[in-house]
Amino acid sequence: MDSLIRRVRILDPLNQRDQVGDVLIRDGIIQALGDSLESPGGGIRELDGQGCVLAPGLVDLYSQTGEPGYESRETLGQLLTVAAQGGFTRVGILPNTSPAVDSPAHVVQRLAAGGVGRPQILPWGAITLGTHGKQLTDLVELGAAGAVGWCDGQPLGNGLMVRRLLEYTQSQPWPMALWPSAGADGAGSHLGVCRDGADAVRLGLSALPATAETTPLAALIEEVATCGRPIHLMRISTARGVDLIRGAKARGLPITASVTWLHLLFSTADLDSYAPSLRLAPPLGTPEDRDALIMGLEDGTLDAIAVDHCAHTYEEKAVPFGIAPTGAIGLQLALPILWQTFVVTQRWTALQLWRYLSLNPAQCLNIATSAVQVEAPADLVLFDPGHQWTATAAALGCDPINTVYGHQIIQGQARHIWVPASLAVQ
C-alpha cells in the first residue's frame, strides 16, 4: 500500500530513533522521512498516524501451526491472519506437524503457503525425522531448500546425538535452536505442570524441578564450549537457567537465548484459577523465575522474546489443568499486552520492546534486520496502542479458551503491516 503517514511516532531500534514525523512509502520502499512532507499525489493514500507507532515489523522466532495434520486447531492461513493483526511481518514456524517438515519438499510446501502482503513464513526444518529424536534429517538439504534453520521444537534427550549434531554442522551457516529440557514425555509435554516451589505445594500441582532445565542446559553449554558451534537456546524458563547462560556468555561462547512472552507475564502465583490456557511447556516458573527472566532480557543475557503461539480446539483445552495440552495463542496478543505491561509502566522503553520483538529475533535467525530509513524496504507495522478490542472468538480467530485473556478488552492493535517481497531468508 503506497502511503504517506502523517505525525506518526517513528521507532527504529537499529538506528536508535524515536521521533515524530511523516513517512512516505511507495513501491515497497521508504522513500522519504521528514517533519512535514509534501504529498506527491498520484494516488498516495494519506494516513493520520497521530498517537500511533510506525516501526519495523515484528519477527517471531518460533510458533506452532496445526497445518498439516491438525487443521481443526488452526490452519497456517489463520495463523498468518492473526500474526498480521499482532504486527508480525515474519513468523518462524516449528516443524512438529503431521507430517513433520523433515524433507526439502516439505520446506518448499511451507514456503509456498505464504502470499503477497501477508507475513512471511520462516520455516524451521526438523533436526530429526518426524521430530522423534532418533535419526538425523539431511540438514544441509533442508537449509538449501529455504529452511530458516534447524529445530525439532522438542527436547533432544540423546547426548551423543547432540554432540554429533554440533560437530556435523560446525561449518554450516544455518541457526540451530535447541530446547534444554528433561522431565518431558515423547511429545514434549512436561510431566510436571508447574515449577517446583511453594505455589506447587499450595495448589496441589505436580511439580517439575528447575534441574529439569538446568541439567540439560549445562550439558549443552559444555558441548558448545568444546566444539564452538553457535546455538540458540529456546524456551528458557528458570532463574538458574538465566544464570548459566550469563556465565556462558561471559566466557565468550556463541550462544543466543529466548524466553516466551507468557513466562514474562505469569508465574506459579497466577495458577489459582487452574486456567488450562496457562498450562505451558515449559511450565510456568516461580515469581523469582519470572523476575530473573525479565532482568535477563534487560541485561542482555537473554536476547529475544518468542511467542510460541499454539492453538487447540475447545474440546482439547476444556479439561482440568493437569491434563490439558500445553500451549497458548499469542501472535495477536503479545505486542499490545507487553506494551501495556512494560512500556506504559515505564519499565521498558518502546525501543527496548521493539529490540526484543524485532531486531534481536532477526539477528538470532541470521536474517535481514529492518530499519525505518530512506531507501530501506518497507518492512513495517503501524501500531495503534490506544485502539481497544475485545478478545472474542471472531477477533482471536480461535476459541478464547486458548488464552487467559479471552473475552477481555485488549488495548492496542496493528492497523497495517507492509511486507516487501525483497525480504527473504539469507
Is 90 exceeded by the pLDDT of residue 296? yes
Pairing of strands 58-63, 380-390: unpaired
* 392-424 per-position pLDDT tens digit: 999 999 999 999 999 999 999 999 999 987 554
What's the distance, CA 37 to chain centroid?
35
> Where in the sequence numbering do the catalytic residues fall?
308
Tell me the average pLDDT across 376-381.
Answer: 97
* 93-109 per-position pLDDT tens digit: 999 999 999 999 999 99
Contact 325, 279 (CB under 8 A): yes
| Percentage of residues in the chain having pLDDT higher than 70 | 97
* 11-49 per-position pLDDT tens digit: 999 999 999 999 999 999 999 999 999 988 878 999 999
The DSSP annotation for 126-159 comes to: PSBGGG-SSSB--HHHHHHHT-SEE--SS----H
Contact 121, 133 (CB under 8 A): no
Q: Which domains does the chain have, with CATH numbers?
A: 3-53+374-397+404-418 (2.30.40.10), 57-364 (3.20.20.140)
Is 60 exceeded by the pLDDT of residue 117? yes
Of residues 43 and 3, more confidence is placed in: 3
Q: Residue 240 pairs with which residues in a beta bridge?
A: none
| Percentage of residues in the chain having pLDDT higher than 90 | 92
- What's the rounded Cα separation, in Å, for the pair 72 and 74? 6
How crowded is residue 201: how many other Cβ atoms within 10 Å of its Cβ? 10
Please tell me the predicted confidence (pLDDT) of residue 364: 98
Please tell me the predicted confidence (pLDDT) of residue 233: 98
pTM: 0.96
